[in-house]
């Protein structure tokens, strides 16, 4: 049976890493074989593109260049890891996917929706995650948390207004897609984790019921 693709999204400092670890643990406890991915990255070529995207170049990096690099890395990951893993029956837990580009490049950078849709259609051919958890945090709080981890990369240095636009786009997209679940990441971490476990357990019940009905 084909596996499921679960993605965790959020601004810098939202707490994605700990939530991903919790999801993996929950899925393994439920008897699922689990693979993890991250974007941009996840394959040798995609990791090289990641370094290119994150690097603080001594020249202007155009919105279109950043966008195309993101999708180039995404296609490599999808082709070489995500799709083969799903077809083998594994559940894949991703640290970011297409929603990040829709929010960061579409919302934050202001790339037109027509351009975003065209490139996404070419690269992904309609593929999308089965479930997305968006960890919602106020940009000022998230950036302060990120600074506490160390030096910010090129995208993290984009400024508060950029991240406010990005968050607004995330919330807009989540409001129009039932497969995207919003988790309040401003709560204490134990409450965030409790909400995540609730969402994952409910999803496991739904998929199990669906498998029984199909059988």
The confidence score (pLDDT) of residue 155 equals 74
State how far the Cα of 186 lies from the Cα of 192, in Å rounded to an integer. 8
Closest CA to 105 of 56, 57, 166: 166
For domain 5-214, give the fold: Rossmann fold (3.40.50)
The confidence score (pLDDT) of residue 215 equals 57
| pLDDT, tens only, 68-126 | 999 999 999 999 999 999 999 999 999 999 999 999 999 999 999 999 999 999 999 99
Q: Where are the beta strands (DSSP E) in the chain?
A: 5-10, 34-38, 91-95, 131-136, 180-184
State how far the Cα of 180 lies from the Cα of 174, in Å rounded to an integer. 5
Q: Domain extents for the chain? A: 5-214
- Please say if the pLDDT value at position 159 is more than 90: no
């Amino acid at each position: 049976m084909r596996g499921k693709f679960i993605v965790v999204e959020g601004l810098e400092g939202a707490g994605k890493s700990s939530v991903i670890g919790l999801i993996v643990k929950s899925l393994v406890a439920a008897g699922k074989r689990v693979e993890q991915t991250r974007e941009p990255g996840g394959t040798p070529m995609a990791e090289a593109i990641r370094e290119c995207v994150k690097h603080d170049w001594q020249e202007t990096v155009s919105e279109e260049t950043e966008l195309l690099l993101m999708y180039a890395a995404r296609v490599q990951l999808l082709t070489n890891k995500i799709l083969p893993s799903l077809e083998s029956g594994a559940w894949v837990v991703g640290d970011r996917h297409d929603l990040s580009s829709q929010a960061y490049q579409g919302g934050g950078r202001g790339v037109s929706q027509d351009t975003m849709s065209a490139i996404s259609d070419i690269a992904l051919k309609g593929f999308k995650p089965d479930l997305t958890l968006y960890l919602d945090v106020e940009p000022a709080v998230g950036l302060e948390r990120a600074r506490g981890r160390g030096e910010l990369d090129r995208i993290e240095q984009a400024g508060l207004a950029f991240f406010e636009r990005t968050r607004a786009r995330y919330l807009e997209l989540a409001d129009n897609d039932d497969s995207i679940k919003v988790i309040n990441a401003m709560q204490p971490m134990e409450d965030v984790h409790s909400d995540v476990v609730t969402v994952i357990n409910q999803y496991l019940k739904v998929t199990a019921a669906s498998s029984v009905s199909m059988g």
